[in-house]
Amino acid sequence: MRVYVVHYSEIALKGKNRRYFEERLVENLRRKIRKIEDCRIRREYGRIVVESENPAISEVLRKTPGVKYSALAEVAELDVESICERALKIAPDAGTFKVDTRRSNKDFPLTSIEINRIVGERILKAKKLRVDLHNPDKIIYVEISSKHAYVYSERIEGIGGLPVGVSGRVVSLISGGIDSPVASFLAMKRGAEVVLVHFFNSTIHSQSVRKKIHDLAEKLSEVHRVRLYMVPFRDVQMEIIRCIPSDYRMVVYRRSMMRMASLIAEREGAKAIVTGDSLGQVASQTLQNLRTIYAASNYPVLTPLIGLDKDEIVEIARRIGTYDISTLPYEDCCSLLVSKHPITSAKLDEVERMEENCQLREKEAVESAEVIEFG
């Protein structure tokens, strides 16, 4: 019999948070795995065991925040003979190897080093292999747990981070670009539950934009389920065009988005707003403009991409599968009637004064948003 053995990162496990962290991770895994198979998932001595060998489950383990690594392991009895048998079954036929034992069950009569030696010798006797402790071709991992031992040699790397939910909830502004889906992903990776918000202008936006945003939400929901708000931006945008000079419009569009995102944050019990801003990348992202934009909200604004270069962002986007969706052509609502030379240092008081002339029906826009669940 084989099972998936799941390990989480241990740094976060100190103190009282441990139990909460573990329960959250089990719950998150359970919800995703249930869609594949109805199998038992249990906690056991600092690991999680999924009682299935369904290959589709490895994809879930690869994409769930909080999982450091996992493995499809042979299950052995708690005796060294049974462990040797399983180790022989998975040992390669040529090359070098070593045995690496972790004994979390301290009642087991042999120490880790003794188990390494006994299992290693049995493999050497049966197969034409060499031991190399420093740079082996294969490592045979043995884990001694409470009722069973687990034996495997292939680790499935996870994304690390924290289980989604342990950090609370955020509202994440998602455009159709490359950056914001990556920012949303990074917030999820650090344990935040994400509510996505997209602003669209129905007159310039075709069905394809809608589909694009849905596809991005769907992709992100492979990490953890997400809720998406599709907020109609047309009326607000038309009013901004009426009352704000073109070189200031981009900043005001974005301030308006921050205000509407704050209304949604309030409704959703979110504690922060996430954007895909990367310092200095485009005109709206000078420090002065960001100061003026973020001042429109009382919530802290988190920008997970602030320290990343574009190529680093692209690399993550490819890895999480959003890149190919993001690079499909789309009309960005924000590019509508903005100046070719937008202001790069919009002063807050100046912009606030301009906005006094506007009748922005932001509350109405949020209230008429379509809310869609993914995952």
From residue 337, give the alpha-carbon distance in Å to each of 31, 92, 236, 244, 319: 45, 64, 13, 11, 35
Minimum gap (Å) between residue 332 Cβ and Mg ion: 6
The answer to whether 207 is a known ligand-binding residue is no
- By C-beta, is 296 or 305 nearer to Mg ion? 305
Nearer to Mg ion, 268 or 331 (CB): 331
Burial of 325 (0-12, 13-18, 19+ CB in 10 A): buried
The residue (of 70 and 184) whose beta carbon lies closer to Mg ion is: 184
The answer to whether 173 is a known ligand-binding residue is yes
Beta bridge partners of 143: 102, 150
Amino acid sitting at position 197 = V
Q: Which of residues 29-48 bind Mg ion (CB under 5 A)?
A: none
Place of tokens 């489950």: 57
Which entry of ligand ATP, Mg ion, none binds 173, CB below 5 to 8 A by partner kind? ligand ATP
Q: Name the minimum Å distance from CB 216 to ligand ATP.
A: 10
Contact 168, 193 (CB under 8 A): yes
Residue whose CB is less far from ligand ATP, 139 or 371: 371
* Contacts with ligand ATP, residue ranges (CB under 6 A): 173-175, 177-180, 197-199, 257, 275-277, 281-282, 284, 333-334
Is 374 part of any known ligand binding site?
no
2 and 73 in contact (C-beta within 8 Å)?
yes
d(CA 368, CA 363): 9
Interface segment toward Mg ion; rule CB under 5 A; list 44-52, 66-74, 168-176, 362-370: 168-176
The option from Mg ion, ligand ATP, none interacting with 275 (CB < 5 to 8 A, set by class) reads: ligand ATP
Q: In whole angstroms, what is the distance from residue 160 CA to residue 166 CA? A: 14
Alpha helices in the chain (DSSP H): 17-33, 56-63, 80-90, 112-126, 179-189, 207-220, 234-243, 246-268, 287-294, 310-320, 323-326, 348-355, 362-367
Q: Residue 80 or 197: which CB sits closer to ligand ATP?
A: 197
Q: Nearer to ligand ATP by C-beta: 298 or 357?
A: 298
CB of 190 to ligand ATP, least distance (A): 17
Partner interacting with residue 251 (select from ligand ATP, Mg ion, none; CB below 5-8 Å by kind) = none
Report what 103 binds from Mg ion, ligand ATP, none; CB cut-off 5-8 Å by kind: none
Secondary structure element (H or E) that encloses residue 193, with its range: strand 193-200
Residue 199, marked binder: yes
When CB distances are held under 5 to 8 angstroms depending on the partner's kind, the choice from Mg ion, ligand ATP, none that residue 167 binds is none
SS3 content of the chain, % helix, strand, coil (to 5): 40, 20, 35
Cβ atoms of 202 and 341 closer than 8 Å: no
The option from ligand ATP, Mg ion, none interacting with 165 (CB < 5 to 8 A, set by class) reads none
Q: Is 174 annotated as a binding residue?
A: yes
Residues 6 and 70 sit within 8 Å (Cβ to Cβ) = yes
Residue in 177, 181, 191, 232 binding Mg ion, rule: CB under 5 A: 177
DSSP one-letter code for 149: E
- Copy the structure tokens of residue 291: 């100061």
In the complex, what is the shortest distance from the CB of residue 87 to ligand ATP, in angstroms, rounded to a whole number?
A: 49
117 annotated ligand binder: no
285 is in an annotated binding site: yes
Nearer to Mg ion among residue 183 and residue 195 (C-beta): 183
Residue from the set 175, 201, 262, 322 that interacts with Mg ion by CB under 5 A: 175
Burial of 292 (0-12, 13-18, 19+ CB in 10 A): buried
Binding site, by residue number, is 173-174, 198-199, 254, 276, 285
Residues that bind Mg ion (CB under 5 A): 175, 177
